[in-house]
Structure 1
Amino acid sequence: MDDMRPRASSRAAAQAVPDERSWLQKEGAPPEEVSANDRQSGWWQRVRAKQKIIILLLLCLLGFGIRYYIFEQQSRSLDAYLGQSCRISGRVVFQRERAKGYEYYIQAEKIAFGQADFFPSHLKFQFYSSEKVQVNSQITVAGKLSALAPPKNPGEWDQKSYFKGKNIYYQLKKAEIKDRKVFRPNLIQRFREWADRQSSCYLPEKEKGLFLSLFAGDRSGLDQELTENFKKTGISHVLAVSGLHVGLLALLLNLALKKLPLPYAVQFGIIMTVLLFFTGFTGSQASTVRAVLMFGILQGSYFFNRAKEPKTAYLLTLLLLLLYNPFYIYDIGFLLSFISVGAILFLHPFLLADKPKYVRMIGLTVIIQVALLPVSSLFFHHFSLSAVLANLWIIPAISYFLGIGSVALLFSWFSTAAAQIMAGSGYYAAQAAMRAAALLAGLPFSEVPIRAMRPGEIALFYAIILAALLSRRKKLLWGLLFAVIIFIPYTWQPQLGMLNVGQAESMVIEYRNKTLVIDTGLTANKSTVTYLQYRGKYRIDMILLSHLDKDHAGGLENLLAAYPVGSIGIAESYRQLDGGNLENEELIKVRESYYQLLKLAAKYQIPVVYWQTGDRIEIADLGFQFLYPEAEEMIWASNDFSLVAEMEYCGSKTLFTGDIGREVETLLLERGMLNEITVLKTAHHGSKYSSSPEFLAMTKPKLAIISCGLYNRYGHPSPLLMQELAERGTQSRVTAWDGAIFLHFSRNGEVIIDE
Structure 2
Amino acid sequence: MLALTSWLLIPAFFAAGMILYGYWRGKDTRWVFVPLIFFYLGMAWTCKYDRDWTRREECAKSLSKAFVEAEGKITTLEEKDGTLKIICKDNQVWKLGDKGERSGEGLSVNGLMVTVKDISEREKRGNSAGLQTLLVGQKVLIRGEGELFSRARNPGEFDSKSFYQVMDLDMKLYGEGIFILDSRKDPVLEGIRQVKLWIIGIFYRLTGEKEAGIFVAAVIGDKEGIPKEINDLYQKNGIAHLLAISGMHMSVIGLFFYRILRKTGLSYGFAGGVSSVAVILYGILTGGSPSVLRAVIMMVIAFLASYLGRTYDLLCSAALALLLLGLQSPLILMQGGVQLSFGAVFAIGGIMPMMVKWVGDDRPLVKGIATSIAIQLATLPVILYHFYQLPLYGILLNFIAIPLMDAVVYSGLAVIFIGSICPILGTAAAGLGNYILIFYEFACRCMEKLPYYNLTFGRPDSKRILAYLFFLSALFILFSITTNTNPGKKEEKPGFHSTSIRLLLLFFIYGSSILFFKPAPVNGLEATFLDVGQGDGILLRTGTSSVLIDGGSSSKKALGQYTLEPCLKNLGVPAIDYAFVSHGDLDHISGVRFLLEESKDVSIKTILLPYHGKEDEAIQNLESLANRRGTKVRYLAAGETFQVEGLEISCLYPEIKDTPDNVNEQSEVLKMDFGDCHMLFTGDMGEKGEMQLLERYRSQLSQINVLKTAHHGSKYSSCGAFLDVVSPSWAVISYGENNTYGHPHQEVMDRLEERRVRVFETAKSGAIRLWTDGQDIHFSGFVDEE
Tell me which interval the TM-score lies in, with the shorter structure as reference length. 0.7 to 0.9
Corresponding residue number in structure 2 for 1:566:
605
Q: Distance in 2 between matches of 1:601 and 1:417?
A: 49
Q: Distance in 1 between matches of 2:425 and 2:732?
A: 68
Could you tell me how far 1:305 is from its partner in structure 2?
Answer: 5.5
Q: Distance in 1 between matches of 2:298 and 2:716?
A: 65
Q: Distance in 1 between matches of 2:681 and 2:153?
A: 23
Could you tell me how far 1:61 is from its partner in structure 2?
Answer: 2.5
Corresponding residue number in structure 2 for 1:149:
150
Per-residue CA shift, 1:251-287, capped at 9, x if unaligned? 3233423422111111111110111111111111111
Question: Which is further off, 99-108 or 653-662?
Answer: 99-108
Corresponding residue number in structure 2 for 1:69:
50
Q: Distance in 1 between matches of 2:215 and 2:439?
A: 14
Q: Distance in 2 between matches of 1:413 and 1:99?
A: 26
Inter-CA distance 220–613: structure 2 relative to 1 (3 Å threshold): closer
Question: Which is further off, 484-493 or 722-731?
Answer: 484-493
Query: Are residue 370 (structure 1) and residue 377 (structure 2) matched?
Result: yes
Q: Name the amino acid aligned to 2:242.
A: V
Would you say the 8 A contact 1:152–1:500 is kept in 2? yes
Corresponding residue number in structure 1 for 2:634:
609
Matches within 5 A, 1:453-468: 453-454=460-461, 458=465, 461-462=468-469, 465=472
- Equivalent position to 2:344, from 340, 347, 368: 340
Corresponding residue number in structure 1 for 2:531:
500
Would you say the 8 A contact 2:535–2:553 is kept in 1? yes
Corresponding residue number in structure 1 for 2:6:
none
Would you say the 8 A contact 2:18–2:32 is kept in 1? no
Could you tell me how far 1:455 is from its partner in structure 2?
Answer: 5.4
Q: Name the amino acid aligned to 1:173.
A: Y
Corresponding residue number in structure 2 for 1:5:
none
Corresponding residue number in structure 2 for 1:90:
72
Could you tell me how far 1:400 is from its partner in structure 2?
Answer: 0.2
Matches within 5 A, 1:311-330: 311-330=315-334
Query: Are residue 361 (structure 1) and residue 368 (structure 2) matched?
Result: yes
- Equivalent position to 1:392, from 399, 412, 423: 399
Count of aligned pairs between the two proteins: 705
Q: Name the amino acid aligned to 1:568.
A: I
Q: Name the amino acid aligned to 2:718.
A: S
Q: Distance in 2 between matches of 1:493 and 1:426?
A: 53
Q: Distance in 1 between matches of 2:307 and 2:301?
A: 10
Q: Distance in 2 between matches of 1:623 and 1:567?
A: 16
Q: Name the amino acid aligned to 2:576.
A: I
Query: Are residue 544 (structure 1) and residue 551 (structure 2) matched?
Result: no
Corresponding residue number in structure 1 for 2:300:
296
Q: CA RMSD, aligned part only?
A: 3.2
Per-residue CA shift, 1:429-473, capped at 9, x if unaligned? 333333333433454433211211345655665576568769987
Matches within 5 A, 1:583-598: 591-598=616-623
Q: Name the amino acid aligned to 2:371.
A: L
Would you say the 8 A contact 1:464–1:479 is kept in 2? no
Would you say the 8 A contact 1:451–1:536 is kept in 2? yes
Q: Distance in 1 between matches of 2:206 and 2:688?
A: 71
Would you say the 8 A contact 2:523–2:773 is kept in 1? no
Would you say the 8 A contact 2:529–2:537 is kept in 1? yes
- Equivalent position to 1:555, from 581, 591, 597: 591
Could you tell me how far 1:109 is from its partner in structure 2?
Answer: 4.0
Query: Are residue 519 (structure 1) and residue 523 (structure 2) matched?
Result: no
Inter-CA distance 334–601: structure 2 relative to 1 (3 Å threshold): closer
Q: Name the amino acid aligned to 2:582.
A: S
Q: Distance in 2 between matches of 1:678 and 1:485?
A: 37
Query: Are residue 129 (structure 1) and residue 117 (structure 2) matched?
Result: yes
Corresponding residue number in structure 2 for 1:4:
none
Corresponding residue number in structure 2 for 1:308:
312
SS in 2 for 1:246: helix
Q: Distance in 2 between matches of 1:175 and 1:224?
A: 30
SS in 2 for 1:543: strand
Per-residue CA shift, 1:89-133, capped at 9, x if unaligned? 222222343456122211234333334455748434343433243
Corresponding residue number in structure 2 for 1:205:
209
Query: Are residue 244 (structure 1) and residue 238 (structure 2) matched?
Result: no
Q: Name the amino acid aligned to 2:380.
A: L
Would you say the 8 A contact 1:165–1:330 is kept in 2? no
Question: Which is further off, 214-223 or 591-600?
Answer: 591-600
Q: Distance in 2 between matches of 1:473 and 1:203?
A: 51
Q: Name the amino acid aligned to 1:314.
A: A
Corresponding residue number in structure 2 for 1:139:
140
SS in 1 for 2:566: helix
Would you say the 8 A contact 2:770–2:779 is kept in 1? yes
Could you tell me how far 1:507 is from its partner in structure 2?
Answer: 0.9
Could you tell me how far 1:44 is from its partner in structure 2?
Answer: 9.1
Inter-CA distance 678–214: structure 2 relative to 1 (3 Å threshold): same
Mark the runs of 5 or more structure 1 residues left unpaired by the alignment: 1-23, 27-38, 576-589
SS in 1 for 2:760: strand
Inter-CA distance 448–75: structure 2 relative to 1 (3 Å threshold): farther
Could you tell me how far 1:752 is from its partner in structure 2?
Answer: 3.8
SS in 2 for 1:496: strand
SS in 1 for 2:546: strand
Question: Which is further off, 656-665 or 479-488?
Answer: 479-488
Corresponding residue number in structure 2 for 1:708:
735
SS in 2 for 1:425: helix
Q: Distance in 1 between matches of 2:378 and 2:397?
A: 17
Query: Are residue 741 (structure 1) and residue 723 (structure 2) matched?
Result: no
Q: Distance in 2 between matches of 1:453 and 1:641?
A: 40
Question: Which is further off, 271-280 or 166-175?
Answer: 166-175
SS in 2 for 1:230: helix
Could you tell me how far 1:743 is from its partner in structure 2?
Answer: 0.7
Corresponding residue number in structure 1 for 2:7:
none
Would you say the 8 A contact 1:164–1:330 is kept in 2? no
Would you say the 8 A contact 1:88–1:108 is kept in 2? no
Identity, % of aligned pairs? 25
Corresponding residue number in structure 1 for 2:672:
647
If the length of structure 1 is used for normalisation, what is the TM-score?
Answer: 0.86
Inter-CA distance 417–485: structure 2 relative to 1 (3 Å threshold): closer
Q: Distance in 2 between matches of 1:210 and 1:201?
A: 14
Corresponding residue number in structure 2 for 1:21:
none
Per-residue CA shift, 1:40-67, capped at 9, x if unaligned? 9974956935433334433442354245
Matches within 5 A, 1:186-205: 186-200=190-204, 202-205=206-209
Would you say the 8 A contact 2:528–2:770 is kept in 1? yes
Q: Name the amino acid aligned to 1:149.
A: S
Q: Distance in 1 between matches of 2:184 and 2:325?
A: 31
Q: Name the amino acid aligned to 1:277.
A: L
- Equivalent position to 1:404, from 399, 411, 417: 411
Query: Are residue 452 (structure 1) and residue 464 (structure 2) matched?
Result: no
Could you tell me how far 1:428 is from its partner in structure 2?
Answer: 2.6
Q: Distance in 1 between matches of 2:510 and 2:248?
A: 31
Would you say the 8 A contact 2:110–2:169 is kept in 1? no
Per-residue CA shift, 1:660-719, capped at 9, x if unaligned? 222222222222342232201111111222222222121211100011111222221121
Could you tell me how far 1:393 is from its partner in structure 2?
Answer: 2.0
Q: Distance in 1 between matches of 2:717 and 2:768?
A: 21
Corresponding residue number in structure 1 for 2:496:
none
Q: Distance in 2 between matches of 1:182 and 1:462?
A: 55
Q: Name the amino acid aligned to 2:457.
A: I
Could you tell me how far 1:632 is from its partner in structure 2?
Answer: 1.7
- Equivalent position to 2:746, from 711, 716, 719: 719
Q: Distance in 1 between matches of 2:638 and 2:427?
A: 72
Higher relative CO (Cα under 8 Å, sequence separation at least 6) belongs to 1
Inter-CA distance 229–480: structure 2 relative to 1 (3 Å threshold): closer
Matches within 5 A, 1:222-301: 222-301=226-305
Inter-CA distance 44–315: structure 2 relative to 1 (3 Å threshold): closer
SS in 2 for 1:256: helix
Inter-CA distance 699–70: structure 2 relative to 1 (3 Å threshold): closer
